[in-house]
Chain A
Amino acid sequence: GAVVSQHPSRVICKSGTSVKIECRSLDFQATTMFWYRQFPKKSLMLMATSNEGSKATYEQGVEKDKFLINHASLTLSTLTVTSAHPEDSSFYICSARPGQGILTSSGNTIYFGEGSWLTVV
């Protein structure tokens, strides 16, 4: 089946620094990727929709300048948490949607990465 890989799986960074999380579709091209954030024991909140070659669409309440999303290729999207603070500590998950005509036998499913744990100290 289709695989989405996130890296790093766990990262600890100092307050005030920036950290980048990568989301890669390993065996398909993803025209659209989504970034989610999950607080402990809470549900997943959609942060933004990332389309290859264009600016990301952010959900209401998500700071664009703090959570920079880049979707530079059909297999890679990155989320950069800038000037991280302890309250940014969370579990971040990406998902990817195969492009038109690709993996149609999958029934138009989107595929999730394993997630990345960010701890800001």
Chain B
Amino acid sequence: AQSVTQLDSQVPVFEEAPVELRCNYSSSVSVYLFWYVQYPNQGLQLLLKYLSGSTLVKGINGFEAEFNKSQTSFHLRKPSVHISDTAEYFCAVSDQRGFKTIFGAGTRLFVKA
């Protein structure tokens, strides 16, 4: 079984500042890792995913994440945030066979002017 821990429930940050949203996972098998964003009253949008290969993954909207197998982490980063990045961010993990995806509790990113 897999599990995902998002260490911060809320992250306030000023506009144009860098941000890191933390995610740790546990699994007894190889997994795929994902970050999703959810804007208020909307569905999920895939930001980026790690399947294999390079541990640094670049996604949409200027986000990137780094897979660290030894630390079982997949932290999301953006060098300069915008007001429009205010949203809920979910880290997710799925096994490589059944693709059952487990989500973390979410981190609310709040970008202040």
Contacts and interface: CB of A to CB of B under 8 A. Distances in A.
A42 B108 CA distance: 10
Interface class of chain A by DSSP: strand
Interface residues of B, number: 21
Interface in A31-52: 32, 34, 36, 42-46, 49
Interface stretch (A12-20, A69-77, A82-90, A112-120): A112-120
A43 B99 contact: no
A112 B46 CA distance: 9
Interface string B32-54: 10001000011110100101000
A43 to B, nearest CB: 5
A108 B95 CA distance: 11
B90 interface: yes
B43 A93 contact: yes
Interface of A: 32, 34, 36, 42-46, 49, 93, 95, 97, 107-110, 112-115, 117
Cβ-closest 3 pairs across A and B: A114-B43, A115-B43, A44-B103
29 contacts: A32-B98, A34-B99, A34-B100, A34-B101, A42-B106, A43-B90, A43-B104, A43-B105, A43-B106, A46-B100, A46-B101, A46-B103, A49-B98, A95-B101, A97-B99, A107-B51, A108-B32, A108-B96, A109-B46, A109-B49, A110-B101, A112-B36, A112-B43, A112-B46, A113-B43, A114-B42, A115-B42, A115-B43, A115-B44
Interface of B: 32, 36, 41-44, 46, 49, 51, 90, 94, 96, 98-106
